[in-house]
Every structure is written in structure tokens, then in C-alpha cells.
Structure 1
Amino acid sequence: MIMPSVEILSRIQFAFTIAFHYIYPPLSIGLGLCLVIMEGLYLKTGLSLYKDITRYWIKIFALIFGIGVATGIVMEFEFGTNWATYSHYVGDIFGSALAAEGIFAFAMESAFLGVLLFGWNRVNKGVHFFSTCMVALGSIFSALWIVIANSWQQTPTGFRIEGHDMQARAVVTDFWAMVFNPSSVDRFSHVIIGSFLAGSFLVMSVAAWYILKQRFVKHAQAMFKVGLSVAVIAALLQLFTGHRSAHYVSKYQPAKLAAMEGHYDSLAVADMYLIGWVDNKKQQTTGIKIPGGLSFLTHGSFNAPVEGLNATPEKDRPGAVNFVFQTYHIMISIGMLLIGLTLLAVFLLWRKKLFNQRWLMIIFAWAVLLPQIANQVGWYAAEVGRQPWVVYKLLRTSDALSKKVTADQVMFSLILFTLVYILLLALFLYLLNRKIQHGPDISELAEDEYDGYYNNNIEHRPS
């Protein structure tokens, strides 16, 4: 058996650990926003039902947060063990961003999480709601600084290079230029909207399951409405943020955009594929396409030329073109499906027929997987499409490795990580299932209060 190279194994290991970790932060970010809405409705209406579902989802939020922290720590150690040259090169940049994340985001989120979990009946309602808002905001800030650090790798600005060859390192010269690098705002908005979709679809999935089982029906319907209100807005906004993200890619990383659409001609009108397959050896893409579609989205004209892969030297362009193409198109397809699902649900809710559609509730019970898949494949497309650069046009992935680590060592740690993460996933699913099976602790008369409140509002609504 031929052992893969240190570079391949290190890339697989980091991709595996970050992909597993990336299950949890989007869920906590999206769920944090749903918690703010749920508790806000409790403060507005005074209904015990909203307090019940808020307390229920806080417990699930804490579980997700805990697993997310545990899995995230591993990646920081990997920077030093597997990617020592990279760590030396970007240490000044990443150090600034990660320090800001720890001080302004993680510390705030962790501190207020204690009040969120244990503050019921110990602090007043306003203070508890403020804590909920701070936890949600902290999770968003945490994502902000991580995305800034990663975006700097895609479009580096605000720095200078000190030293030469293997001793070279990037040093911050303009902190705000580093923060607001050309891709950070667009990428952050795209990531956050994807997180809102992940969290809201988790809420709707659990609610749909309760409705199918005829358990906690009033509570489940209230949960579903909160999740749907977030999901439908986020799904539509993702169209805009996705277009903006593709626009920055076309400007700053044309080879990545060409790989995403399988476009090889150096400078020619580019089609947009709905579905297809790329043969990198023959430099051919086949499938269902909109002629000139990529040209139109990029330049506003179906006849505008777009730079293709052949405009970039082969050694400087992505190698796994079909992989980038497929992951990018899976993300887009899921995004369109989420828009269709949420708009259909809103229409049926308006017609007061939503919760009677058993087939749709079954779909929503499983649809929790869709935003997760879209988030994962979107990340794959962005990172694999950047290759062979770890810092675009500055540091190659092959040069970023630790020089003393062997393939055997990386393989051994990869096997151990896989076993540990399988156990963590099993534990997470077990604990999550227990909480779902238990359901919310229902306050006495909560459902009667809910019915009475909304019936009274309907009776007194102006005609």
C-alpha cells in the first residue's frame, strides 16, 4: 500500500476536523436568533407557551455550543503541528483576528450563556432577554472574526512581507484594511445567512416531528412559525449574498470562478450550468446550461467574455475542477430548494392549511440536513477552489506544511481523530434525541392562554 503524501494527509485531516466542527457553529448562530425571537414574543405577549419553548431550545443551544467548543480547539493545535510554516507566515494576521474573537465574542457569549441557562427566576425578564441577545450577538461576532481571518487568505490586504523564503511572514500594517479586505463583508454575510438557515431548519424539523407525532402540538406550531419566519427571509437573502460572493470571486479569483462553472477558454463567453460534469483532461464540460448565463451574471451581458481556466498557468489553478464544480452546484441547488420549501410553507400558513399537510411535515422533518449539506459543500468549493494557494498568490499549500511531521504520524492522528469524532457525534445525537423525546416542559394552562390570546386578538382586529 502506498502511503499518501504528508500534504494530502494533512489536508484531509484538517478538512475532516473543520467539516465536523462546522456542523455546530451554524446551528448555534441560527438557533441564537430564533431564541431572541421566541423570548421576545414571551415578553411581548406574556404567554407561558413562548417561555416554555424558549427554555426548551436554550437546553439544546447549550448542547450544541459545548460540542462546538470541544471540536474547535483541535484545529488550533493543528496549525502548529501540521502547518507550522503557515502559522509562522500568517501568525500576525491570525493572531489579531483570533484575539479579537476571543475577547469580543467568545468571552461575551460564554459569560452571558450562564445567565441564559441559570438566570430564570434569578434575574428579571429584561436582564434575561438582554443575555439572550448578547449570546446570539456573541455567536455572530465569533463567526465574524473567523471569517475575516479566512477571507484575508482569499484576498489579502493591509500587510507587508518581512523576511525571505521560509522565514517570510506577513505583518499587519493596516488593521482595518485587513479586517475589511475585499471579500470579508460578502463572505461574512453569506456565512451568517447560511447559519440562520441551519438553525431555523433545526427548529422547524423538531417542530414538524412533534406535529407528525401529535405531541406538544400548540408548542410545536409556535416553534415552526418562528423558524419559518427566519428561514423564508434568510433563504431569499441568500440569493443576494450568493451573487455578491460570486462577484468578488470573479474579480479577485477568476480561476476559482472558472472552476465553479467548468469554463476553460482563456477569454470567451461563459455559459452557466444548471447541472453537468467536467472532464478536466479533455477540458470539456457537458450538461444542461444557460448559454451566456455566467457572462450575464458577471458582467450584465450575455455576450461579455469571462476569463477561463486556461488564462491561468496550470500550476496556479485548481486541480480538482469537477469537485469544485459539483460542490458549487449542489450548494446552489439546495439554496433554490430551500426558497421553494419556505415560500410554499408561508403560502399554506396564510391559507391556514400548513399543519394539515402531513407530507410537507415529513419533508421538513428531514430538511434539517439540507442547510448543513449546503454549508459544507459551499466551504469545500471555496477552499478547494483556492488551491494550490493557502494564502492566495502568496503562499502555496505545499510550502505551508510542517517540515518535521511524517506521513505515518499524520495518518495515526487522523485515525484517532476519526474515532474520537465518531464518538462525539454519537454522544451528540444521543443527547439531542433525549431532549427531543422529552420535549418542552409545559406550563399549566399554557395552551389555553395561547388560544385565548390569539382568539381575542382576532375578535378585536379592525375590519
Structure 2
Amino acid sequence: MDLLDIARWQFGITTVYHFLMVPLTIGLAVLVAGMQTAWYRTGKRRYLKMTKFWGKLLLINFAMGVVTGIVQEFQFGMAWSAYSRFVGDVFGAPLAMEGLMAFFVESTFLGLWIFGWDRLSKGVHLACAWAFSLATVLSAYFILAANSWMQHPVGIELIDGRPRLTSISALLTNNTVLAALPHTVFGCFAVAGSFLIGIAAWQIARHHRDSSPDDEDRRAWHASLRLGAWVAVVAFAGLAISGDVQGKLMFQQQPMKMASAEALCHSEAPASFSIFAIGDVRQPNCEDVKSFTVPYVLSYLANGDLTSEVKGVQALVPEYQARYGTHYPDDPRLGPYAGQPIDYVPNLPVTYWGFRFMIGFGALAALGAVLVLWLTRRGRFPAGRFWAPLAVLSIALPFLGNIAGWVFTEMGRQPFVVVPNPDPSGVDGVWMYTASAVSAGVTPGELLTSVITLTVLYGVLAVVEIFLIVRYVRGGFAGVLPSEPPEGEKNEEALSFAY
């Protein structure tokens, strides 16, 4: 592999691993704040148990997310220094906002929440929970604003070959980020909902299957199970709606990505949506591919009607070549890519199947959540021995859907790392090829050593997180909240929730 391939592998490994932590933190933080609100308003002990148990798992995941996120800065500086210089004048503002306004608020109020039990009033403590949870969403917004600029650059001018930010409001109100934010947040809730379903189902099956429906712990687990199922169902509906909005924008802003997502090699009017394909989708002529399609659907997804034309890969390639050139610049910093022809077609198998895995895993998780709601109505719990293990395994479905969606988003924009704005009102010349973004002063051997080291490190961190999660899941409510003391005695548990 050359330097660019190794750099892309490093970015993919570190980013996908970090993103395993992010959606669970965002979704679970809001749900935990909601559980604490229920306890604050009703005073029922089962909601306190839910708050402390799920809050403990949230803290473990948050801590691991912080550790894995730090590596992102390291790998950008090491492997992508040219990219960092190119986008630095634009990304400085949103990333500073994320660090100072969002992450600072997260850390501060999370600390108050951890150590504020029995030290702060219930109302103030609850406010800390909501401040922390909403700050996680705000943090995601600023990061997505930066990522969306790479997908659709706005609010800048080109000076000496580099973009300079001229309007922070344009960057923060980019229609790409306004579409990406709800889609991402709904994905986070889908992850958190399935997480609640799997763990609560395991707890009931293992410890409370034969207990009375009035048993407090069983009722708390059942409430967690139902909450997770409702959240997952609503989240998938939100994903479908926001995904449709996001898809229509992508057809306008990155038509090659969406044509590749459908393996649409030839233009069609009306265009059909491909359910799945049989054959070799690696070639942009699609001569060896048999695709099973639904008529008219792709035209609607692209343009909101049933008859419009959707351009295919072969029609788009000449347009890209005419607008952005046929060859890479003859620049020695591009290494083996200097002066070579540019392939504007992204990896078709990855974009095509990544798009379908994203939808498929999400749909399976939603169907599972609907089944859970039916089987657990009126306090019931299924008697089958395989039901709980399947519920635990279903935790992986929205995680896999989120990963597939981000792989599709990032790889589908190749060969660009900053995609040109096709709008005539956009700034001409603002784009960057991925081959131009990699660091020129790093050798393939050095970068390969970095990839191996980080992969091993992440493997160790994965073992640590799984160990901690499993340990506290097995401990259940008793592991985070002592039993109620006999009447008249005081229960000293001020630091029971702190590490």
C-alpha cells in the first residue's frame, strides 16, 4: 500500500472506533436525564434506580469516548497535515466552539452531576443532567457543521489558494448540516434504544422472569425495556424522514455519490430504486450486474417526483472532468498520483452496499423494537429461551447501521476530501483531492507503525470497556444503589455513584 492508502486506513479505523462511543453517549445522556426527570416529578424509587444504573453505563462510555477522541487530533496532524492547513482557517471557529462551549459545558455539568448526589438540591442536580445531555447534542452540531462544510463548502472566499471563513452564520446554517444533525441525532437515539432493550431483556430473563409483576426491580427493568423500544421506533421514523431530506440534498450537491449508491451506471427517466444487485458492481458500466428494482422510487428520492431523470455514473464522469479536470496536478507532493488521470467514481461496492446496510440494519432494529412492544404489553415478558439472547445481539444492529452510513458518506465523496460546491453561487476553486491532503513528510513505514500501534491500543480499550460494561450490567441495580434502609435509619450513599 502507498502512503495515501495507509492514511485512509488509519482515519477509517480511528474514526469508526471513536464513533462507536459517540451515538451511545448522546442518546443515553438524554434518556438518563429523562429518567431523572421522572424520578424528580414522581418520587418513585424505580426511576431513581434506572437513572443511576443507566447513568453508570453512560459514564463508562463517555470516558472511553474522550480517550478515543483525543487520537483524532494526533492522526490529523500526523497523516493529514496538508488537509489540516487547507481547512484550518475554516474549521478553527466551529471546533473552538465545540471545545469551549460544548465540551467544557459537558465536562463541568457531568462532574457536578456525578458528585452532586445529596449535595445539590434535586432541581439543581436535575438541571445539571439536562445541561450535560443537551451539551452533547450541541457538541455534535459543531462537529457536524465542520464535516458538512467538507461535503458542501459555504461562507468562505478563496485567498492565495486557501479558503478563508467570511461568514460563521453561513457555515452554521449550511443546509447540509441542518439536514445531517437530525439524522445523526435520531441515529443516536436508535443506538440508545436498542442498548436499553438488550440489557433490560437480559436482566429480566436472568433474574426476574418468575418474579411478581409488582416486584420493584422487575417493574424498573420492564420500564427500561419499553422505553428503549419506543425510542427505537420513533428514532427509525425520524431517520426515514430526515434521511429523505438528506438524500435529496446529496443528489443536488454530490450527484456522483448518490449515483454510486444506486449503482446507477446509466441515466434513467423515470429512475428505479435498486433493492439489491447480483453481479460485479465494481465496474462503472454495470454490464455484469442484475439489479432488482422498485420503479419510480429513485426519481422521488432524488427530486420529489415520479418521472424526473436521474443521471448515472457514465453521464456524470464527463461533467466532472469538464468542471474539475481530467488529471491530478503535476505536483511532486502528490507522489505517485502526480499528473495521473483522476477517477471520479468512488468505490462502487462500498457505496452501494454501505447504503443498503445502513437502511437494512436500521429497519431490522425498528422491526425488533415493534416486536418488543407487542410481546411486553401489559407487563408481559416472552417465555422463549432464545428471546433474551436475541435481544442482546440486536444491540449491534443500530451500531452497524450508523457505521455503514458514515462509511458511505465519507467514501462516497472520493476522490475529494473537500467536495466542490456545484451551486453557481458557490466559490470557484474550493475543493481538495484526498491525494493532496495526505502529509508529505511521513513515510509509509512510519504511518504503518502508527496504524498498528493505534489498532492495538484501541483493541485494549475495547476489552476494558466491555469488561466494565459487563461488570456493571451483571451488578444490576444493586451495584449502583443500595437497598432501602430499615425505617428510621439513614442510608449513607452520597458517593455511591462516584468513581
Q: TM-score, normalised by structure 2?
A: 0.84
Contact 2:186 2:238 (8 Å CA) reproduced? yes
1:405 aligns with 2:442: yes
Partner of 2:409: 382
Contact 1:49 1:443 (8 Å CA) reproduced? no
Q: TM-score, normalised by structure 1?
A: 0.91
Task: Give every structure 1 segment of 4 or more consecutive aligned residues whose post-TM-superposition deviation is greater than 6 Å.
Answer: none
Picking from 302, 310, 322, the partner of 1:298 is 302
Which structure has more helix as a fraction of its residues? 1
Contact 1:211 1:355 (8 Å CA) reproduced? no
Picking from 58, 63, 66, the partner of 1:66 is 63
3-state SS of 2:157 partner = strand
Partner of 2:182: 189
Identify which range, 91-100 or 273-282, moves more after superposition.
Answer: 273-282
Distance 1:263 1:281 in 2: 11
Picking from 206, 210, 214, the partner of 2:203 is 210
1:364 aligns with 2:391: yes
3-state SS of 2:363 partner = helix
Picking from 345, 349, 366, the partner of 1:322 is 349
Contact 1:97 1:149 (8 Å CA) reproduced? yes
Distance 2:435 2:376 in 1: 53
List per-residue Cα deviations over 1:2-22 (Å, max 9, x = no partner). xx1100100000110001100
Partner letter of residue 405 of structure 1? V
3-state SS of 1:287 partner = strand
Distance 1:309 1:268 in 2: 14
1:8 aligns with 2:5: yes
List per-residue Cα deviations over 1:233-263 (Å, max 9, x = no partner). 1121111011111111111111000010000
> What does 1:342-361 align with in structure 2 at a 5 Å threshold?
342-350=369-377, 352-356=379-383, 359-361=386-388
Partner of 1:451: none
3-state SS of 2:346 partner = coil
Partner letter of residue 200 of structure 1? G
Partner letter of residue 300 of structure 2? F
Picking from 168, 180, 183, the partner of 1:175 is 168
Partner letter of residue 189 of structure 1? P
> What does 1:424-435 align with in structure 2 at a 5 Å threshold?
424-435=461-472
3-state SS of 1:307 partner = coil
Partner letter of residue 438 of structure 1? G
Offset of 1:145 from its aligned partner? 0.7
List per-residue Cα deviations over 1:359-416 (Å, max 9, x = no partner). 5433222111001000001000000000000000210000111111111111011110
Picking from 49, 52, 77, the partner of 1:52 is 49
3-state SS of 2:310 partner = strand
Contact 2:226 2:372 (8 Å CA) reproduced? no
Distance 2:285 2:453 in 1: 39
Picking from 28, 33, 37, the partner of 1:31 is 28
Runs of 5+ unmatched residues, structure 1: 447-463
1:223 aligns with 2:242: no
3-state SS of 1:279 partner = coil
1:198 aligns with 2:191: yes
Contact 1:205 1:367 (8 Å CA) reproduced? yes
Partner of 1:234: 235
Distance 2:281 2:69 in 1: 36
Identity of aligned residues (%): 31
Contact 2:94 2:142 (8 Å CA) reproduced? yes
1:245 aligns with 2:249: no
Offset of 1:347 from its aligned partner? 3.2
3-state SS of 2:164 partner = strand
State the Cα RMSD in Å. 1.8
Picking from 421, 428, 431, the partner of 2:458 is 421
List per-residue Cα deviations over 1:117-167 (Å, max 9, x = no partner). 11111111111111110111011111111111000000110001111xxxx
